[in-house]
């Protein structure tokens, strides 16, 4: 075997030693990916970030979620994430991702809009995944996106009616007026708005509606009219007016609101739906359900409201998807179970569906998050679970790589996604050094011995 054959063999072995470990570390040819998707080079991002017009503070958790992968980084300077420098930290989005898949960005759990600085495109909801690219992408959080409708649940007890009634759709920012009327032989007794006693009202207007509401009215029977007097005296009847409770005296027990109407056995007599203020989460309570409050009393008022990102308990064993809601009163129970449904837009569902979305519940007694059997309906873009108690519920992603923080409130102190992919760059540098050293050796041998290189050499 000639000297040049030996050198060529050395180069081949060196190349194999450097490249094969990197290939094997990805789990072989498919990197452990599902569905035949090959592992991709990361898409690298950096740029400015604002929250409601102000620079994002230091330690803001900037995360990216995409079907099959994701990534995150913590801001180290106010108003920016990552760095444009060649060796500065970057937000790396990688794993088993199909090219062109939409990436959604979040800042501390709040959805962010994106703008490619190097194009004239407007602000958008997502950005396509392009493996190997470095993109200067600005992010902004402008507050929650309003739903198409809010809902006002209007209910009237026996002895009168309210118009409009039932579950009334209201466009965000609009006004809606309700008229309350007693039947013959009845009078208005109490009116409650969102569970608060408001006294005797014949009409009520919700103005600039920006949340879900409830309005309910109860009525009382009036005594029959008295007999007419003689001798020119006018006959007369009388009505005992309802009075506002004295200060310090609690108002009468509220009539059904929040969608629950109970029968004599304290079980629901009709199905109702209660919708969160953002229109994403809802509770469907069927007939024959026995709702019990924290004190063991029959429960008539149930609410579901979004939980701010900073108030979500830590310790989730999956990746928080940005949706958490409190079913209140906390400590209430339902027998049999009621349905908790999360409904998503097509853009939201495209991001969630490939990452194993599921509903989890925070057990305040043990301080841990617990899985709940979840029905995933791809056609309806919904997640559904049966729940038997009040408390905090959230959507988490089971298949997102663990390089994304498991929950927004407690991010890791050292992001693992910062910097360049050194596992690729370092082997390449070593290979180049070996090649250069071999060339130097060949030239040195030629000069010292006067030996000609093989055909095709220099």
The residue from 107, 123, 145 where one domain ends is 145
Tokens representing residue 421 in the block: 């992919």
Whether 458 is in a domain gets the answer: yes
Strand 357-363 and strand 281-285: the pairing is unpaired
What is the mean predicted confidence (pLDDT) over 253-282? Answer: 75
The answer to whether residues 214 and 197 belong to one domain is: yes
Q: What is the pLDDT of residues 8-49, one digit of tens each?
A: 556 555 554 544 444 433 444 444 565 556 777 899 999 999
Whole-model pTM: value is 0.39
Q: How confident is the model at residue 97 (pLDDT cuts 50, 70, 90)?
A: confident
How many angstroms separate the CA atoms of 91 and 420, rounded?
10
Give the model's pLDDT for residue 3: 59
The answer to whether residues 88 and 171 belong to one domain is: no
Give the model's pLDDT for residue 218: 87
- What's the residue count for the chain? 458
Q: Give the contacts of 409 (CB within 8 A, at least 6 positions apart).
A: 109, 309, 310, 311, 312, 313, 314
The answer to whether residues 49 and 113 belong to one domain is: yes
The answer to whether residues 36 and 139 belong to one domain is: yes
Q: Find residue 368's DSSP bridge partners.
A: 363
> Over 99-131, what HEC string results?
CCCEEEEEECCEEEEEEECCCCCCCECCEECCC
The answer to whether residues 139 and 36 belong to one domain is: yes
- Tally of structural domains, the chain: 3
Contact between 104 and 93 under an 8 Å Cβ cutoff? The reply is no
Q: What is the pLDDT of residues 131-141, one digit of tens each?
A: 999 999 999 99
Q: DSSP 3-state assignment of 96?
A: coil
Domain containing 185 equals 147-223
Range with lowest mean pLDDT among 53-67, 87-101, 242-256: 242-256
Q: Tell me: pLDDT of 432 over 70.
A: yes
The answer to whether residues 103 and 79 belong to one domain is: yes
Whether 372 is in a domain gets the answer: no
The answer to whether residues 40 and 137 belong to one domain is: yes
Q: DSSP 3-state assignment of 442?
A: helix
Instruction: Read off φ and ψ for residue 232, nearest 5 degrees.
Output: 85, -10
The answer to whether residues 50 and 60 belong to one domain is: yes
Whether 427 is in a domain gets the answer: yes
The answer to whether residues 27 and 93 belong to one domain is: no
The residue from 196, 223, 250 where one domain ends is 223
Q: Tell me: pLDDT of 236 over 70.
A: no
* 1-7 contact pairs (CB < 8 A, 24+): 2/454, 3/445, 4/453, 4/454, 7/438, 7/441, 7/442
Whether 391 is in a domain gets the answer: no
Whether 213 is in a domain gets the answer: yes
How many angstroms separate the CA atoms of 85 and 69, rounded?
25
Whether 327 is in a domain gets the answer: no
The answer to whether residues 74 and 88 belong to one domain is: yes
The answer to whether residues 120 and 139 belong to one domain is: yes
Q: What is the pLDDT of residues 208-233, one digit of tens each?
A: 998 899 998 888 888 765 444 444 43
What is the rounded average pLDDT for all residues in the chain? 77
The answer to whether residues 161 and 180 belong to one domain is: yes
The residue from 223, 256, 274 where one domain ends is 223
Whether 122 is in a domain gets the answer: yes
Q: What is the pLDDT of residues 362-412, one digit of tens each?
A: 988 888 999 999 999 988 899 999 999 999 999 998 875 433 333 334 343
Whether 41 is in a domain gets the answer: yes
Give the model's pLDDT for residue 279: 83
Q: DSSP 3-state assignment of 68?
A: coil
How many angstroms separate the CA atoms of 170 and 209, rounded?
7
Q: Which residues of 353-385 are buried (b: 16+ CB within 10 A; e: fewer)?
A: ebbebbbbbbeeeeeebeeeebeeeeeebebbb
Q: Which residues of 65-75 are buried (b: 16+ CB within 10 A; e: fewer)?
A: bbbbbbbbbbb
Tokens representing residue 354 in the block: 């490939």
């Amino acid at each position: 075997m000639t000297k040049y054959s030996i050198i060529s063999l050395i180069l081949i072995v060196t190349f194999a030693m450097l490249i094969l470990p990197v290939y094997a570390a990805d789990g072989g040819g498919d990197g452990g990916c599902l569905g035949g998707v090959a592992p991709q080079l990361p898409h690298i991002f950096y740029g400015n970030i604002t929250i409601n017009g102000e620079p994002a503070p230091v330690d803001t958790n900037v995360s990216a979620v995409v079907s099959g992968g994701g990534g995150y980084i913590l801001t180290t300077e106010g108003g920016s994430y990552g760095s444009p420098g060649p060796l500065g930290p970057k937000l790396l989005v990688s794993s088993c991702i199909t090219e062109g898949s939409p990436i959604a960005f979040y800042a501390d759990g709040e959805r962010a809009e994106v703008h490619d600085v190097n194009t004239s495109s407007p602000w958008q909801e997502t950005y396509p995944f392009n493996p190997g690219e470095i993109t200067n992408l600005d992010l902004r959080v402008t507050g929650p996106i309003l739903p198409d409708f809010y809902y006002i649940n209007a209910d009237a007890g026996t002895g009168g009616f309210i118009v409009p009634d039932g579950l009334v759709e209201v466009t965000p920012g609009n006004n809606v007026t309700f008229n309350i009327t007693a039947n013959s032989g009845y009078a208005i007794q109490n009116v409650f708005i969102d569970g608060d006693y408001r006294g005797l009202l014949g009409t009520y207007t919700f103005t600039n509606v920006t949340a879900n509401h409830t309005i309910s009215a109860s009525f009382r029977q009036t005594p029959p009219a008295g007999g007419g007097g003689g001798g020119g005296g006018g006959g007369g009847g009388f009505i005992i007016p309802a009075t506002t409770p004295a200060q310090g005296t609690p108002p009468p027990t509220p009539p059904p609101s929040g969608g629950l109407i109970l029968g004599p056995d304290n079980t629901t007599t009709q199905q109702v739906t209660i919708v969160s203020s953002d229109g994403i989460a809802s509770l469907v309570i069927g007939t024959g359900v026995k709702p019990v409050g924290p004190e063991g009393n029959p429960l008539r008022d149930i609410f579901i409201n979004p939980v701010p990102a900073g108030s979500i308990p830590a310790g989730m064993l999956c990746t928080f998807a940005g949706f958490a809601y409190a079913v209140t009163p906390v400590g209430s129970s339902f027998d049999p179970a009621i349905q908790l449904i999360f409904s998503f837009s097509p853009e939201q569902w495209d991001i969630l569906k490939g990452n194993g979305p599921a509903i989890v519940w925070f057990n305040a007694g043990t301080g841990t998050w617990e899985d709940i059997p979840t029905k995933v309906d791809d056609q309806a873009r919904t997640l559904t679970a049966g729940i038997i108690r009040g408390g905090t519920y959230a959507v988490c992603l089971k298949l997102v790589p663990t390089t994304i923080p498991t929950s927004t409130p407690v991010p890791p102190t050292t992001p693992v996604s910062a910097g360049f992919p050194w596992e690729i760059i370092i082997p390449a540098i070593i290979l180049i050094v070996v090649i250069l050293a071999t060339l130097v050796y060949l030239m040195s041998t030629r000069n010292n011995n006067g030996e000609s290189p093989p055909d095709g050499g220099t």
